[in-house]
Every structure is written in structure tokens, then in C-alpha cells.
Amino acid sequence: MTAPLWYKNAVFYEISVRAFKDSDGDGVGDLRGLTEKLDYLQTLGVDCIWIMPIYPSPRRDDGYDIADYYGVDPVYGSLDDLKTLIDATHQRGIRIIMDLVLNHTSDAHPWFQAARADRNSPYRDYYVWNDDDQKYAGVRIIFSDVEKSNWSWDEKAGQYFWHRFYSTQPDLNFDNPRVQEEMLNVVRFWLEMGIDGFRVDAPTYLFEREGTNCESLPETHAYLKRIRRMIDSEFPGAIMLAESNQWPRELIQYFDQGDEFHMAFNFPLMPRIFLALAQGQASSIKKILNDTPAIPANCQWTTFLRNHDELTLEMVTDEERQLMWQEYAPEPQMILNLGIRRRLAPILNNDRRKIELVNSLLFSLPGSPILYYGDEIGMGDNLNLPDRYGVRTPMQWDDSPYGGFTTGAPFTEPVQGEYGSQKGNVADQLKSPNSQLWAIRKMISLRKQYAAFGGSLEWVETGNPAVLSYMREKDGESILVLNNLSAVAQSAHISTAYQKTGRDLFSNQSAAISEQLNLDPYSYHWIKLLPSATS
Ligand code: NOJ
């Protein structure tokens, strides 16, 4: 496991440890449960897993509110269990990254408790305080459905404290050198244990300055680079992945000269995949990728369809958002903040053609794809649960009463009905070559088999706006990808330059690329050009 650029063409898989597999019957998923399921992940073909926060936490934000940066919440197991998990993933050639929440702690963290209790405590200055709530006026509120201000009054402290997320998540004060050192030590602690890197939560908001929007400030970038320098010198090969929901031009600042983040989620692309499908038009995907500047050679995008949060629509226009809400969130309870709190399969009405089509885009466009646990089997959501918890329900392993997740009573109400474990689960789908799981597994294996998917991208004109077509190429290997985004059959007109002989990678049949190709509704093709044809 020494390849330094391993992340540049890797398939990632995001896991809620809480919801994945319970090993001891207490109804809550745990590290041992996840370790039991690594063979499944190996068969699926993933290269790296990302585990959501497992730190001790009062869970006002599902663990993104950390009360101890150096521990594992006992409900998930122990540090030894984590070590066992790390070793077991590595034995299978899989890497493992975890969440690093720099921006804020839980209000239950001893630092905050000490800070609020005593103005003279050394911890007071670990947080951002003010006598009124007028400082940094105009800074946007992220959890706008719940929070009305980024300041909250703390009775005990006799001051307001600053928070970009829930008021139970006070922001750390990165102007304090001790906070900077503390967080470097946190990074060291987990890397020493063998973790392969971090999905860095909310890196955008570390510093505040009056008169700015308090996002992506130069001081913030400077500190993130400091972490990177430490990682490069002490733990080469470990990665930092940025969770920053910004437009491409701001987002690429997180790569800078290849000396800040190794990876960043491609937030602008994600909603446009859904937009393109809703419009039956390829243009929004093309436009955003054309507008995305090139990134340094040692950096990579992480592409995704869904994750544990709402499908955020911050990066689209008001009209586009309306269209997407209409199409994908027809009931008010499906909307959260500016996004959609549903899983992939229900968003797409459980239409296998659409589900496979968006996955075709995910696995064939540039960037390292990341799958959200359960989306490979078309899991559903539970809208009765509040906030984003409806998309974090127990993984459905088999058709036993609680889907094989636990022998006890699950920590939350599982998904029932059309998407329940009786209808969709790993065991059944593994047995059936026609299942969605097999389709996704096939895409992952093709993606890994052909280096072209880590190579260049060139749009291929088809004269048809409903068809998104492109050539992926590397070292003389060329793959033509065709996606019909519309609900009706379409034809693609291919110029003579591409009229060659190839092989359809899904059917394994030879495919002659002729002047006119007819594409079924929502169909996709990955056609490898025969070597002689590319010369
Ligand atoms: C982003 C995480 O993805 C989200 O789940 C969390 O609520 C916020 N950051 C705050 O940590």
C-alpha cells in the first residue's frame, strides 16, 4: 500500500458505522460489525472506506459534535476495535479514512464547559465570543431551517458564542495558536494509529474576519496548508479530502498549488447530474465541467451522487432549484434547508434505468467516485425520521426481521414497504445477476479495469442535446461513453473520426460505431475502441 497517488483513481464508499452492522445485539452498528462485513466491500470492489464520526459525542448532529477527539464512543467499540478494523481493511488492500471535524466541537466538550464557566480559563479563548450578536453581520446561516443566527447567548458565560452549524456546535477559535496545535495533534493521533487520511468536515469556516463572508479566508487556507505540510513530512501517502460546498473557482483554491488538499468533493457537478436528468438535456453537466479549471497533477475530485446529508441545491440557480424540488421532492417534508433529504433510489422513483444511468455518469466521468452505503442495493429512506436521519437507516443485509443488521432492536425505525429489507437486501441481490448490486459491481470493476477512466475527457458531438457523450482516454486506451438522459429513444450522430469498431463493455459484444447510433430511453454504453481503431 505504498502508491503515493492511490487516491487519484480509487473507488470510495461512505459508511455510517452506526447503521452498517451491529455485532453485539444492542441495536447499534459498531466497529466489529463493520469489520465482519469487509469481505462484502472487497467483493463490491471499493478501494477506500470513509467512516462517519465515531468519536464520543452527545450526538446532537450524529457525531459531528465531538466531545473527545482522542476516543471512540463506547457504543461503537474501543480504540482496539478500530485498530483491528484498520488492520483488517489493509489486509484486504482497502484503505480507510475518517471524519476530521476541525471547525467546531460539541458544547459538551470539556473545553467548552471550561470556557463558559470561567472567563479566565485557558479554554475561554478556544472559542469565539462576543458581547452582542452583531459581529460578522450578514454571514449566511447554513442550517437555516433551525438556526436563526450564527450567535447564541450562553447564560453561564455571559456572552454570545459563534457557531456556523447547530448552536450545540460552538466554533473553535483558530486565531488561538493552542487550538491550531491541538488540532495538529488530533491529526497525528489517528494517522499514527494507521488511518489513511481524513474527510475534513467544513474546512471553509475556520477563521472569521469582520467585513467578509467568513468563508475560505486566506488564514483558513494557510492553516490547512500547515496540516498538509505536517502530513507530508510525517505521514506521506495519507490524504485530506475537502468538504467545501463552493463554486469551482473557489473550490479549486483548496487544491492551490497541490500543497493543500489532495481531494475535494465536486459539489458543483453533483446537482447538475440530477438537473440534466430532470431536463433530459446534457448541457448543465457539460457547462459545469467546462467551467471547472484544471487541477494540479497530484490532486483529484471526488464525485458523488448522494451522501449522509441532504442533496444540497446551494450550487444551482433559483429556477433550477424549483425544477429539482418539483421533480425530486414533491412533498414538503422531503425538503431540508436548500436540499432534498432523500436517498438515491426514491429520488429516482426506483427506476432502475435512471439509477443505472446516473451511476454510469458517476463511474465514467473524471474524478474518484464515492458511493453512499446502501445505494448500491437501491435502499430507501424513512421520512418519518427528522433532519437527515431518514437517509441513515440500517443497512439491509438479508430478509430477516431487521434486515440482518441486528439481532436486537435497531436504534432507529428501519425503512419499510417498497424499499424495506424484504424487498431489497444484499443477500438476495448477490444471488441474482440481474440485480442492481450486480450492475453497480460491474461498473466498479470496469472502472478499475480500464486506465482510460483515470485519463483525459473529451466531449464527443452527437448533434443531440439529450445525449451526453465523451471519450475517456489514457495511454492509447480509448473508451467512448454515451448516455441518453431523456425518457424517449434518441439517436446520436457520430462524426467519421469516431466511426470505428469497438466492444460494448457491458454486453461484451462487438459494437460498430456508425454514423447514427440509436439509444434506448435512459440507456448508457461504454464502448472500448479496438486498439487498431485508435491508431
Ligand atoms: C458537514 C457534515 O456532512 C454534516 O453532516 C454536518 O452536520 C456538518 N458538516 C457540521 O459538522
**Cell triple for 135:** 459581529
202 CB less than 6 Å from ligand 1? yes
The tens digit of pLDDT for each residue in 189-218 reads: 999 999 999 999 999 999 999 999 999 999
Mean pLDDT score across all residues of the chain: 97
Distance 206 CA to ligand 1 centre (A): 14
The residue annotated as part of the active site, out of 154, 243, 320, 356, is 243
Residue 243 catalytic?
A: yes
166 CB less than 6 Å from ligand 1? no
For residues 354 and 278, the answer to whether their CB atoms sit within 8 Å is: no
Note the pLDDT of residue 388: 97
In the three-class reduction of DSSP (H, G, I as helix; E, B as strand; rest coil), residue 227 is classed as helix
DSSP secondary structure letters along 80-142: HHHHHHHHHHHHTT-EEEEEEE-SB--TTSHHHHHHHH-TTSTTGGGB-EESSS-TTTTPPPS
Find the radius of gyration of the CA atoms of the chain: 23
Interval 379-394 mean pLDDT: 98
The tens digit of pLDDT for each residue in 416-460 reads: 999 999 999 999 999 999 999 999 999 999 999 999 999 999 999
Distance 63 CA to ligand 1 centre (A): 9
Distance CA 225, CA 253 (A): 11
Distance CA 535, CA 532 (A): 6
Residue nearest to atom 6 of ligand 1 (CA): 64
| pLDDT for 469 beyond 90 | yes
107 CB less than 6 Å from ligand 1? no
- Pairing state between β 239-242 and 197-201: parallel
Please, which pLDDT band fits residue 529 given cuts at 50, 70 and 90?
Answer: very high
Please, which pLDDT band fits residue 396 given cuts at 50, 70 and 90?
Answer: very high
Q: Hunting for cell 478494523 — which residue is that?
A: 85
Distance 64 CA to ligand 1 centre (A): 6
Residue 319 catalytic?
A: no
Q: What single letter denotes the amino acid at residue 17?
A: V
The number of the ligand 1 atom at minimal distance from the alpha carbon of 388 is: 5
From 66, 201, 205, give the residue whose CB has the most ligand 1 atoms within 8 Å, as the site to mutate.
201
Distance CA 327, CA 496 (A): 38
215 CB less than 6 Å from ligand 1? no
pTM above 0.75, yes or no: yes
| pLDDT for 532 beyond 80 | no
The tens digit of pLDDT for each residue in 12-44 reads: 999 999 999 999 999 999 999 999 999 999 999
What percentage of the chain reaches a pLDDT higher than 70?
Answer: 99
Q: What single letter denotes the amino acid at residue 501?
A: T
